[in-house]
Amino acid sequence: MIVAITSMKMKPGLRDKFIQAALVCRAATYQEKGCTQYDYVLSPADADGVLCVEQWEDMNCAFAHMKTEHFQTLSKTTHDTVASFSLSLFDATPSHALDQFFPPSKN
């Protein structure tokens, strides 16, 4: 499993413009093969802060996502709205080490 966490600082006053485009991309991304999470979190402490959390079955699925039309469209908006960003990429293996404290849901 691949986890990508992107922390973004928007140009002043442009967070809402970015979020509108991001939500369109998010809806389409959840239809993609291998996407298990693709969410945005707004910073309560910073009016220009946004965090994106993605989870993919593997790196091939993540790379395929970056070639989609909806991601390319969001990238254009990103160039106009994002002042800076940092990306952390993790190769994560699911663990059951904490199941005794946090039992898996039975949904």
CB 33 within 8 A of CB 64: yes
Q: Among 18, 29, 24, 30, which residue's Cα sits nearest to residue 68?
A: 29
Q: Write the pLDDT tens digit of every residue in 4-56.
A: 999 999 999 999 999 999 999 999 999 999 999 999 999 999 999 999 999 99
Give the chain's mean pLDDT: 93
CA distance 16 to 59: 30
| CATH match of 2-91 with 1.10.3720.10 | no
Per domain, the residue ranges of the chain are: 2-91
CA distance 53 to 40: 6
pTM of the prediction?
A: 0.83
**What is the C-alpha end-to-end distance of the chain, expressed in Å?**
21
